[in-house]
Structure 1
Amino acid sequence: MSSKVIEEPARRIPIYGEYEVAVLGGGPAGIAASVAAARAGRRTLLIERYGFLGGMGTAAGVTNFCGLHANVHGEMHSVVQGVATELLARIDRLGGLNAPHLVLGKILAQAYDTAAYKIAADDLLAAHKVDILFHALGAGVVMDDARNIGALAIETKSGRQAVRGNIFIDCSGDGDLAAWAGAPFEVGDGEGHMLYPSMMFRLNGIDPARAGEAWQTIPRLMAAAEAAGTHKFPRKAAIVRPQRSPVEWRVNFTQLARADGSAISGIVADDLTQGEIVGRRQAVEAFEFLRTVPGFEQAYIVDLPPQLGIRETRRVTGGYCLTGEDVLGCASFSDSIGVNGWPIEAHVAGDVIFKFPPIPQSRGYNELPYRMLVPEGIDNLLVAGRCASMTHEGQSAARVSGACFAMGEAAGAAAAQSLAAKTRPREISIDTLQLELTQRGAFIGRHQQVPTGL
């Protein structure tokens, strides 16, 4: 990258709009945050870089909700409710939701159709009167003072514009807004190592009868192919599972690294460029192997997503940092605003390593404290999603969509409460926030009865 610079002339930026709550990023956290703020009567804008919502779930082709469920003393329960329940019901009405399926014999995940997700999310936000601005990329902030954001700069096809807000919620996944505002953050495990990204893709044309439970046999076939020297795979623990239609399967087979073997960075443009190119190459190589699997002989790649699947970049430092010990120990917090039932899922070099709380001895979920949404140093900002305050290991679990829905809903409700009380988000009444969340159908742990059903 060149070290040369140019001087950008000062310019006057038109104000796109003035909002009480401005949310950057339309993934699970951003969807839930904007709905929660708007349903409380606050004028809310959701800003999204693509032309659709869903975050990594649609833009990176994940096509699979993780963390909606927990293994509670050996029984499966749906533990993420509230806004997430409304969204899933809409996806289901469109015929785009699979029944939950078992992962590693210990936890449930739930596949969906990406088109149904996009349509359902549009409908959900419209029902709650959330304003949306698509094709808008966050580009920086203008500070009112050292601790307060005055406006978010965005780049659009209409040129650079600015959004004024009373409270901002960073659901960008990368902690972009927080970093621009000067909030402290961490990257990686202390030595700069992040979770490895993947290039997801989907196949069509599978013969379901012949494929059967191919996800059970594919690991053995991979090992045999490597031993025979016909194929070499970037990682173990490949995931190949059917979608709503059994002729279509999702494939999570790739792992993207720099030349030195470390994970590519989702906040370095050159890394992202190479990751996209190498990711598509790895997808083709994986596809060529899968064509040798019974039932996949006539398969074809039906979708390569718009972007690489990024798991970890910045983690903003908040009032509490969720740890791996909290996940494995099923920690409780007096300021809990939701729960995470997903285990630690560490995407390390060449492999994916899962660590679960004790099963069936444990309740299988940790609570999520409100403090992890409140960044240090900035007074009118909340952070929700995979860039919230967590350690590298804690984020390996609570980065998934279930926990992101929970964090986002709490952040949106907290922003509305802060405005109503005319106080900073870090000073709101936790009791009032918890009461509102539970009355809206959310499960926050604490003394609530665990929801029944899937």
Structure 2
Amino acid sequence: MKSQNDARPSGIKLYITLFFALMIAPLGCFAAVDDYDVVIVGGTPSGIAASIAAARNGHSAILLERTTHIGGLMANGLGATDIGTRGATLGIFGDYIKRVREYYKTTYGPGAPQVEDCSDGYHFEPSIAAKILAEMLAEHPTITVRVMRQFDALPENVTLENGRVTAIRILNRETGATEQIRGKVFIDATYEGDLAAAAGAPYRVGREGRSEYNEPMAGRIYRAWRAEKLAPGSSGLGDNAVQAYNYRLPLTRVAENRVPIEKPSNYNRDEYVSLIEDFRLNREAAVTPPHPDRARTLVRVVNVTMMPNGKIDGNNHHCSFISTDLPEENWPWPTSDWAWRDTFAKRLRDYTLGFLWFCQNDAELPADFRAECSAWGLARDEFTDNGNFPRQVYVREGRRVMGEYLFTSHDATPVAPGARPPLHLDSVTASHYWLDSHAVRKREPGRPHLDGFFSEESAPYTVPYRIIVPKNVDGLLVPVAASATHIGLSTLRMEPCWMALGEAAGAAAAQSIAGGKPLRKIDTLKLQHELLRRGVVLIYYRDFAPGNAGYEAAQLLGLRGAISGWNVNPGELIDAKTAASWRKTLGLKASSPGKKKITRGSISPPCGMRQAARRDKMERRHSCRRSRPTGLAPEL
């Protein structure tokens, strides 16, 4: 039997077809809607860790990366891990550095110079970082990786249902098609906080004033490097200034791997000539003049850290008035579209190559300095599809998405000399780096340094889950553009911490899905149990690392102030009263009289944690029997 529609004249059918085609066309060409448990935007190390944490808890995850390569800055030249205390941040990051160390040992032999230069896994070549991160993803078949997928920070690219993110639209940069991805939980792992902004989460850009949170380094400041006091002009007033970006440069002077620096077509010598006068006056932005050992070398203007195979991680030099940073011009980046960002990225690349060419060739610079600089070039075996130059700009700070807690400098500094910073009961990682910001303005006459450049001591601190839970939006976590002041983010912004926050986000997403609870209402103690059994550090102790018996209990006791100071002293005996108090704090039954002596490191973890550990052991045994994929999903 023919339907009423089948009886219509063909002309009417054609008209209806064209009508609906024209109506749909402005919305873009949508592929079939994809559905995943967890959707991660940004193939940064944080995004990778989030994907792995979600997948190992049995959930499907999709990782969306705008470029052709995953890995963020760790795969783009940042090969000298920025961490103040090794061991303060572990978990998936700890697994990564172990793999780096083992790679160099296996490839070159235990006593090889590459093993020494990898610094126990904390220093690595960009190509090796990309390789290892890809391998870590490939071990989880429920992770799908798609590259060349661009998310544009526009409200129309986010579907909200009762304030909760349920779908996003992304651009396939290869086909030009718009793809729609649905998910149960979304994670914004971009350096800029693009997804959170598009979803309507509040955010900050720029610097808070000193009076707003009583942060000593906040607002406009000038201080010579290593000087104790701020210089005149340090008003402390807030503004919209963003700390400078640059490229982290893997340079080499190994002749067979060295690619000479070429002069950019739009080279502008005027941008660099102030360096000539600095040489004549032996002048730097520091308390003391340059040391003779580096006064006439590349190290005078580029900060150098050794990596394996004769490469360096070349960074902006903190004592030079002019180096690889390009302050001021990057201010629009956090909130600009990708067309503007791509234009700036090219401008920064040309500026950087121009600076290196100037140092190697300008006749007014000292001849010995030029000769030493000329020995360096780009690494032939890195970024082979991008002219041996890093593919991504080092975005030190983008948006700061406001969350359930605002992390300030006070959260990273001791409450008293020798003491810890404030403890956060909902800590999802410990971390440690100096309070550290690069300049926000170019050189100004008469100033001892560039505005905004500082490095202040901190101590290993705890990072609360609440900083990755954005206000006003549900179904979303933000582990990179986290909730912090400019000064607070200046220590959080290191890849180990961002990676740990990504791991926490992935684990929290899995817990939210499994329990049917909103992300802001999950049981953070349960989340901590999951993280601890994966080797995460929630509070740093100098003498008690993951793997020790009683580790989980000591971590939870430490967060509650029961174990004070920087050491657990696990072998010391505790009296019955203390043991009873600790067991009560952990929710354990009181121990029966007559049992063996109890030490500080032998309190048992809660029963639920022991059960989780047993489940994890069974999972590992089962996984050893399964075949593992040898590569990433085909879409990578």
TM-score (norm 1): 0.81
Report the CA distance shift for 1:322/1:43 in structure 2 as closer, same or farther (over 3 A): same
SS at match of 1:78: coil
SS at match of 1:281: helix
Report the CA distance shift for 1:64/1:422 in structure 2 as closer, same or farther (over 3 A): same
Query: Is 1:365 aligned to residue 435 of structure 2?
Result: no
Alpha-carbon offset, residue 271 of structure 1: 6.0
Amino acid in the other structure paired with 1:298: A
Alignment correspondent of 2:211: none
Alpha-carbon offset, residue 450 of structure 1: 4.5
d(CA) in 2 for partners of 1:116 and 1:271?
A: 27
Query: Is 1:411 aligned to residue 411 of structure 2?
Result: no
d(CA) in 1 for partners of 2:48 and 2:473?
A: 23
Amino acid in the other structure paired with 1:127: E
Alignment correspondent of 1:246: 310
d(CA) in 2 for partners of 1:256 and 1:98?
A: 34
Output one character per residue of 1:23-59: Cα deviation in whole Å (capped at 9) or x when no partner.
1111121111110000000111111112222112224
SS at match of 1:65: coil
Query: Is 1:356 aligned to residue 457 of structure 2?
Result: yes
Alignment correspondent of 2:280: 228
Say which is worse superposed, 15-24 or 400-409, in terms of deviation.
Answer: 15-24
Query: Is 1:118 aligned to residue 130 of structure 2?
Result: yes
Output one character per residue of 1:91-120: Cα deviation in whole Å (capped at 9) or x when no partner.
333329865899xxxxx9932111111111
Match of 1:441 among 535, 539, 547: 535
Match of 2:485 among 380, 391, 394: 391
d(CA) in 2 for partners of 1:134 and 1:313?
A: 22
d(CA) in 2 for partners of 1:354 and 1:172?
A: 25
Verify the 8 A CA contact 1:319 1:376 in the aligned structure 2.
yes
d(CA) in 2 for partners of 1:9 and 1:231?
A: 59
Report the CA distance shift for 1:15/1:66 in structure 2 as closer, same or farther (over 3 A): farther
Larger Rg: 2
Alpha-carbon offset, residue 318 of structure 1: 0.3
Verify the 8 A CA contact 1:265 1:313 in the aligned structure 2.
yes
Alignment correspondent of 1:430: 524
Verify the 8 A CA contact 1:25 1:172 in the aligned structure 2.
yes
TM-score (norm 2): 0.59
Verify the 8 A CA contact 2:53 2:507 in the aligned structure 1.
yes
Verify the 8 A CA contact 1:276 1:308 in the aligned structure 2.
no
SS at match of 1:64: coil
d(CA) in 1 for partners of 2:523 and 2:32?
A: 33
Gaps of 5+ in 1: 1-7, 71-76, 103-107, 208-221, 358-363
Report the CA distance shift for 1:247/1:326 in structure 2 as closer, same or farther (over 3 A): closer
Verify the 8 A CA contact 2:117 2:308 in the aligned structure 1.
no
Alignment correspondent of 1:150: 166
Say which is worse superposed, 371-380 or 140-149, in terms of deviation.
Answer: 140-149
Alpha-carbon offset, residue 90 of structure 1: 2.6
SS at match of 2:151: strand
Verify the 8 A CA contact 1:19 1:164 in the aligned structure 2.
yes
Report the CA distance shift for 1:413/1:281 in structure 2 as closer, same or farther (over 3 A): same
Verify the 8 A CA contact 1:196 1:256 in the aligned structure 2.
yes
Alpha-carbon offset, residue 412 of structure 1: 0.4
Match of 1:33 among 11, 26, 50: 50
Amino acid in the other structure paired with 2:490: S
Alpha-carbon offset, residue 332 of structure 1: 1.3
Match of 1:375 among 447, 453, 470: 470
Q: Identity of aligned pairs, percent?
A: 26
d(CA) in 1 for partners of 2:280 and 2:183?
A: 60
Structure holding more strand per residue: 1
Alpha-carbon offset, residue 312 of structure 1: 1.0
Query: Is 1:160 aligned to residue 208 of structure 2?
Result: no
Gaps of 5+ in 2: 1-24, 108-113, 209-238, 256-273, 286-299, 317-322, 362-367, 380-387, 415-420, 443-449, 548-636
Alignment correspondent of 2:378: 301
Alignment correspondent of 1:339: 430
Verify the 8 A CA contact 1:99 1:110 in the aligned structure 2.
no
Verify the 8 A CA contact 2:479 2:501 in the aligned structure 1.
yes
Say which is worse superposed, 341-350 or 166-175, in terms of deviation.
Answer: 341-350
Alpha-carbon offset, residue 12 of structure 1: 5.7
Structure holding more helix per residue: 2
Query: Is 1:85 aligned to residue 170 of structure 2?
Result: no
d(CA) in 2 for partners of 1:137 and 1:58?
A: 19
Alignment correspondent of 1:180: 198
Alpha-carbon offset, residue 266 of structure 1: 4.1
d(CA) in 2 for partners of 1:430 and 1:383?
A: 16
Verify the 8 A CA contact 2:118 2:308 in the aligned structure 1.
no
Match of 2:333 among 261, 265, 272: 265
Alpha-carbon offset, residue 306 of structure 1: 1.4
Verify the 8 A CA contact 1:21 1:37 in the aligned structure 2.
yes
Amino acid in the other structure paired with 2:467: M
Report the CA distance shift for 1:187/1:100 in structure 2 as closer, same or farther (over 3 A): farther
Verify the 8 A CA contact 2:242 2:328 in the aligned structure 1.
no
Verify the 8 A CA contact 1:22 1:167 in the aligned structure 2.
yes
Verify the 8 A CA contact 2:403 2:466 in the aligned structure 1.
yes
Alignment correspondent of 1:317: 402
Say which is worse superposed, 291-300 or 25-34, in terms of deviation.
Answer: 291-300
Verify the 8 A CA contact 1:205 1:298 in the aligned structure 2.
yes
Report the CA distance shift for 1:418/1:247 in structure 2 as closer, same or farther (over 3 A): closer
d(CA) in 2 for partners of 1:311 and 1:368?
A: 19
Verify the 8 A CA contact 1:15 1:164 in the aligned structure 2.
no
Alpha-carbon offset, residue 232 of structure 1: 10
Amino acid in the other structure paired with 1:342: Y
Amino acid in the other structure paired with 1:353: F
Amino acid in the other structure paired with 1:167: V
d(CA) in 1 for partners of 2:242 and 2:158?
A: 30
d(CA) in 2 for partners of 1:231 and 1:257?
A: 20
d(CA) in 1 for partners of 2:277 and 2:546?
A: 43
Amino acid in the other structure paired with 2:47: G
SS at match of 1:418: helix
Alpha-carbon offset, residue 283 of structure 1: 3.5
Alignment correspondent of 2:144: 131
d(CA) in 2 for partners of 1:377 and 1:179?
A: 11
Query: Is 1:281 aligned to residue 351 of structure 2?
Result: yes
Report the CA distance shift for 1:416/1:342 in structure 2 as closer, same or farther (over 3 A): same
d(CA) in 2 for partners of 1:114 and 1:229?
A: 37
Say which is worse superposed, 17-26 or 277-286, in terms of deviation.
Answer: 277-286
Say which is worse superposed, 12-21 or 87-96, in terms of deviation.
Answer: 87-96
d(CA) in 2 for partners of 1:101 and 1:126?
A: 24
Report the CA distance shift for 1:413/1:438 in structure 2 as closer, same or farther (over 3 A): same
SS at match of 1:339: strand
d(CA) in 1 for partners of 2:28 and 2:162?
A: 22
Verify the 8 A CA contact 1:21 1:167 in the aligned structure 2.
yes
SS at match of 2:333: coil
Report 1 or 2 for greater relative contact order, CA contacts < 8 Å, sequence distance ≥ 6: 1
d(CA) in 2 for partners of 1:421 and 1:247?
A: 48
Report the CA distance shift for 1:257/1:313 in structure 2 as closer, same or farther (over 3 A): same
